[in-house]
Amino acid sequence: AGSGHGKMAAGGAADAQARFGHSVKGLLTEKVTSCGTDVIALTKQVLKGSRSAELLGQAARNMVMQEDAILHSEDSLRKMAIITTHLQYQ
């Protein structure tokens, strides 16, 4: 009878171990899923960052082009003012 009781205890321990293993697997799966979600979010953020850097670069290039156009217009206006002054003298 004593040995039969020992087998039951061993069976209960094995059952508890299986339940523990199952809950650990569940927790690990949860953590892996959570990590995966975090990695995806981080990747999206990095891509958004590189995209905004690209847009900033583009905006800077556009500003340089605008500045060039403004300087050219300013130069043309100055020349036109000189011509106007010459025409008034004649």
> Model-level pTM greater than 0.85?
no
Instruction: Give the pLDDT score at 73.
Output: 92
Residues 6-50: tens digit of each pLDDT? 555 666 777 878 888 788 888 888 888 888 899 999 988 888 888
The Cα–Cα gap between 1 and 85 comes to 125
Domain spans of the chain?
A: 1-49, 50-89
